[in-house]
Structure 1
Amino acid sequence: MPAKSAEELWKAYTETTDTNGASYQTRWFGNQNKPAEVQAATDAILAGTKTATTTPLDTYTNEQVAIPQPGDYNVLFNGDMKPVAVIKTVVSELIPFYRISAEHAWHEDEGDRTIGDWRQRKTDEFTPTLEAHGHNLSSDTPMVSEVFEVVYRAD
């Protein structure tokens, strides 16, 4: 039976694993106002094809949100904002935009999964947000490059 809340899902996970008292945050991928976008990302994560993400450092600093660290846990929400899994950050690195690797782009599972397509998509995605914060996207713009894994499923 699927969990009704993030707390319930986290409790179910911690009963099966020693998390050494770790805590969790809630998380979804994509625009919360576009449930189909969030659901598509969630489906890719649960299928194991999306295991990475990239976010401008500026996003974390402007929203005053902690940068993901290896060992961090997140309860993953689907397009209906229901908890479906627990994911764990495996790698988190600060890397300039044009140093993101082709391998990382592949693991983000977007478009045709090439670095060229990734750069174009991310340029289109990141430029408005950065400009709203008074910044421009450049080859040196710091990015938080994250790799994660699903460690528990609600089903």
Structure 2
Amino acid sequence: MPAQSAEQLWKAYNETTATNGASYQTRWFGDQNQPAEVQALTDLVLNGTKTATTTPLDTYTNEQVAIPQVGDYNVLLNGEMKPVAIIKTVVSELIPFYRISAEHAWHEGEGDRSIGDWRKRKTETFAPTLEAHGHQLNTDTPMVSEVFEVVYRAD
């Protein structure tokens, strides 16, 4: 039976492993106002296709959110904003936009998984957000490149 809350899922995970007092945040991938998109990305995480993500550094600074660090835990929420798994950050690097590797694009698990497709899709996504904050997307725009693993599932 799936956990009813993020707190219950975290508690269940803590009963199976030693997290040494670690805490968690809730997290989802995609636009919260687009539940189908969030669910599709959640499904990619749960089936092991999506094990990485990239976010402009500007997003973290403008939203005053901490940059993911190695060892961070997140309770993954699905399209209904219900907890389905716990993911752990295993790599977090600051990399210029055009230095994101083809391997990383593949591990993001979206589109055709090529670097060309990744750059096209991310330009379409990141450019308007950056422009809204008074910045332009260019080859040197700093990106937070993150790799994560599913360490616990609600099912």
1:136 aligned partner = 136
Runs of 4+ in 1 over 6 A off after TM superposition: none
Normalising to structure 1: TM-score of the pair?
A: 1.00
Deviation at residue 96 of structure 1 after TM alignment: 0.1
Deviation at residue 110 of structure 1 after TM alignment: 1.0
**Which sections of structure 2, spanning at least 5 residues, go unmatched?**
none
Normalising to structure 2: TM-score of the pair?
A: 1.00
Deviation string, structure 1 residues 17-67 (Cα, Å, up to 9, x no partner): 000000000000000010000000000000000000000000000000000
1:17 aligned partner = 17
Q: Which amino acid counterpart does residue 146 of structure 2 have in structure 1?
A: E
**Which sections of structure 1, spanning at least 5 residues, go unmatched?**
none
**2:37 paired with 1:37:** yes
State the superposition RMSD in angstroms. Answer: 0.3
Q: Which amino acid counterpart does residue 122 of structure 1 have in structure 2?
A: K
Q: Secondary structure at the match of 1:80?
A: coil
1:50 aligned partner = 50
Deviation string, structure 1 residues 59-102 (Cα, Å, up to 9, x no partner): 00000000000000000000000000000000000000000000
Q: How many residues align?
A: 155
CA distance in 1, matches of 2:81, 2:62: 24
Q: Secondary structure at the match of 1:140?
A: coil
